[in-house]
Amino acid sequence: MAADLSPIDKAKFVAARRATQFVESGMRVGLGTGSTAAWLVKCLGEMVREEGLKITGVPTSTRTAELAREVGIEVISLDEARWLDLTIDGADELDGKMNLIKGGGGALLMEKIVATASDQMIVIADSGKEVETLGAFPLPVEVIPFGWQTTKLLVEETLIGLDVLGRTTQLRMNGDAPYVTDEGNHILDLHLKRIGNARQLSLVLNQIPGVVENGLFIDICDKVVLGHGDGRVEVR
Ligand code: 5RP
């Protein structure tokens, strides 16, 4: 499954494969979105097909749902599952307190709902995602299409009083059109460079009308599985 991988893909693959050890038969598992989560889904699919693992998966995007079905994992909705044993997902950045930036792949809303509805969330990532302070990666903020330009202005105004280094905001595009999430919303990417107080920023952003959710995951992640390009894996 993983022959001839680049060091970064190998790091993602070994992290995902190691995380499968936390999955047990009978579990309802939240399935993340992105290239690292895709490795996880493929590894779990192999375990379902070849080792008799019995799980039901709740995908965090239509992309992941398609892949999960393709590899043989039974897919149910969050409404059917109500609550999950475990969610495993990637991240764009993670700090020493296991706080995260997510949403680079545009699925932050479903990812946050699913992770929050889980007994445990495990993040799988290549070691390059680890940072001292969050913020070098642009923070995705999901906004409803109605009045998004006004929401953008309100977000920019809100940033003025906050402990961040950059304040540029950009509507995410898909070619010539605004990017549309699975929930029919747009995404503003906030170029903050350094986020001094992630908890405060998350709370303040979510109070702006038009903001649906932001990509800061504070106190949601319980465990981190970090892969390295040489095949080493660290579990924290
Ligand atoms: C998608 C996400 C992904 O988990 C994040 O972008 C990491 O992706 P990758 O595993 O491809 O590096 O938050 O919304």
ipTM of the complex: 0.98
Does 34 sit in the ligand 1 pocket, CB within 6 Å?
A: yes
pLDDT tens profile 83-134: 999 999 999 999 999 999 999 999 999 999 999 999 999 999 999 999 999 9
Residue 96 DSSP class = T
Q: Is the pLDDT of residue 2 over 80?
A: no
The two tokens of residue 8 are 């970064």
Q: For residue 125, give both structure tokens.
A: 């990532």
Torsion of CA 33, 39, 43, 48, to 10 degrees: 30
Given 24, 46, 51, 111, the catalytic residue: 111
111 is catalytic: yes
pTM: 0.96
Phi, psi for residue 235 in degrees, rounded to 5:
-115, 125
Helix axes 35-51, 62-71, angle to 10 degrees: 30
- For residue 210, give Cα distances in angstroms to 39, 60, 138: 34, 22, 19
CA distances from 135 to 6, 87, 93, 130, 190 (A): 26, 24, 8, 11, 9
What's the rounded Cα separation, in Å, for the pair 86 and 223? 11
Instruction: Please provide the average confidence, as pLDDT, over all residues in the chain.
Output: 97
Q: Is 187 in the pocket of ligand 1 (CB under 6 A)?
A: no
CB-ligand 1 contact for 106 (6 Å cutoff): yes
